[in-house]
Structure 1
Amino acid sequence: MHELLISEPFLLFLVMGSYLLGVFIYTKSHIALLHPIIISIAVIIGVLKWAGIDYDTFFHGSYIINFMLGPSVVALGYVLYEQIGYLKGKVLSITSSIIVGSFVGIVSVILICKLMNVDHSVIASLEPKSVTTPIAMSLSARSGGIPSLTAVTVVLCGILGGIIGPFILRKLHVRSKVAQGLALGAAAHGLGTARAIELGAVEGAISGLAIGLMGIMTSLLIPLVEKWIA
């Protein structure tokens, strides 16, 4: 029985099945806190605990899901191509927004952690919190961080941004589709982009662009900021 539970087909079914269950519940309830990601995480943790499956076994058994994160981000380029007209005359504002957003995200983490005397490995794990998971884990490992902690942090930031991001944008009266897409993609990466796509095609396309630009800018700024603040 245990061999079946740790097999790759079962673990893949667990991941996809729990997410589809989450989508069903969210569609029926329309409650933000019942986001499909939150439900699937709860179901997966419960099953792993019940079956006594450790994280390494689960990760290797469902590795194809993690691998597909990269191609899925690249696929967003097609959505951006369809909305390319919205980028005309906005290149400077988009670029400056990404630079500022990436810089503030990195510096805020470092300063807060230093004030709390947090170990460097934790700081390095939290610095790329606003970057999509594959890039964030790579940056974390390169800086001496803990990739698994980075993955958890990225997911939590994505969930939080996806849930409260649109609400905050409404309260701040941010009506620009480009600004909404940039905010959700830069702060909440993949999950924010999924939420942006629900708002509209333009928001989703710009959010996908923000993911890629944040990955590039964050990878460039982390070494520079660390040297500057250290």
Structure 2
Amino acid sequence: MSEFLQNCGSWGVFATLAAYALGVLINRKTRLAIFNPLLMGSIFMIVFLRCFAIPYADYSASAAPVNWLLAPATVSLAIPLYEKWDLLEKNVGAILAAILAGVITSLGSVLVMAHVLKMAHANAVTLLPKSVTTAIGMDIAATLGGTAALAGAVIILTGIAGSLLAETVCKVCHITHPIAKGLALGTSAHAVGTSKALEMGEVEGAISGLAIAVAGVLTAVLAPVAANFLP
């Protein structure tokens, strides 16, 4: 198998797409939120790599084109925001305040957890950007002395958790305003949460896309400050 894969330079791309497609199929058949396509696809790839004893470095190099699409995919979220630009102009103050509150809460939760669990500094800074998109969060973690790969995994898990719990949290907390839903998902669950926000509605998706960008910038600025208070 290893020899075959070495002769097929793009096997990582095809394997990734196949794993995700299988996850989508299972999600549609079961109609259960827990079978999130991204989560299922990740599990399938882990099992595949383990079964055939394929080093992660080999898979990462082969699947690099998929990573290259991450930034353009994130930027494309600006399209629904442009279509709802009037909402942004009318609510800009409340929107920015909500995103700032979300970023501070995210960083603060890591600070509390790090002190309670007595985490090593390198592990704690890896968790600081858990709620921003992978393209930004991995760079933040690496810059602060954390592990970029681990940060990526934590960010993905955070997004999946936010997507799965979104509707339940909104019902329990009586969050009904579309702008509030979009802000909550974009600030706490980045791109994965935004995909869920788009399912809820156009306004939710547009505002969530804005929250991703603003939360990413604020986290990049505030994370180094928060790192000074870590153990």
Q: Which runs of 5+ in 1 are unaligned?
A: none
Q: Distance in 2 between matches of 1:49 and 1:229?
A: 35
Quote the offset at 1:111 in angstroms: 2.2
Q: Distance in 2 between matches of 1:8 and 1:75?
A: 28
Aligned equivalent of 1:210 = 211
Choose 143-152 or 105-114, whichever is displaced more: 105-114
Quote the offset at 1:8 in angstroms: 3.2
Q: Distance in 1 between matches of 2:226 and 2:27?
A: 40
Choose 182-191 or 103-112, whichever is displaced more: 103-112
Q: Distance in 2 between matches of 1:190 and 1:149?
A: 18
The RMSD of aligned alpha carbons is 1.3
CA deviations 1:130-187 (Å, max 9, x no partner) are 0001100000000000111101100110110000112111221111111101101111
CA deviations 1:30-76 (Å, max 9, x no partner) are 10111101211111111111111111111111011112111111111
Choose 4-13 or 26-35, whichever is displaced more: 4-13
Choose 144-153 or 4-13, whichever is displaced more: 4-13
Aligned equivalent of 1:110 = 111
Give yes or no for the alignment of 1:169 onto 2:170.
yes
Quote the offset at 1:83 in angstroms: 1.3
Aligned equivalent of 1:18 = 19
Identity value in percent: 33
Quote the offset at 1:228 in angstroms: 5.4
Give yes or no for the alignment of 1:201 onto 2:202.
yes
Q: Distance in 1 between matches of 2:117 and 2:168?
A: 30
Q: Which runs of 5+ in 2 are unaligned?
A: none
Quote the offset at 1:229 in angstroms: 6.2
Aligned equivalent of 1:4 = 4
Query: Structure 2 length normalisation: TM-score?
Result: 0.95
CA deviations 1:178-210 (Å, max 9, x no partner) are 110110111111110111111111111111111
User: Is contact 2:115-2:230 (8 Å) kept?
Assistant: no
Aligned equivalent of 2:66 = 65
Task: Name the aligned partner's letter for residue 103 of structure 2.
Answer: S
Quote the offset at 1:27 in angstroms: 1.3
Task: Name the aligned partner's letter for residue 21 of structure 2.
Answer: L
Choose 194-203 or 136-145, whichever is displaced more: 194-203
Q: Distance in 2 between matches of 1:120 and 1:225?
A: 12
Aligned equivalent of 2:225 = 224
Q: Distance in 2 between matches of 1:160 and 1:229?
A: 25
Choose 167-176 or 183-192, whichever is displaced more: 167-176
Q: Distance in 2 between matches of 1:158 and 1:210?
A: 14
Q: Distance in 1 between matches of 2:226 and 2:2?
A: 47
Task: Name the aligned partner's letter for residue 67 of structure 1.
Answer: W
Q: Distance in 1 between matches of 2:141 and 2:196?
A: 26
Q: Distance in 2 between matches of 1:117 and 1:172?
A: 31
Aligned equivalent of 1:88 = 89
**Secondary structure at the residue paired with 2:228?**
helix
Task: Name the aligned partner's letter for residue 159 of structure 1.
Answer: I
**Moved >4 Å (runs of 4+):** none
Q: Distance in 2 between matches of 1:92 and 1:187?
A: 19
Query: Structure 1 length normalisation: TM-score?
Result: 0.96
User: Is contact 1:4-1:10 (8 Å) kept?
Assistant: no
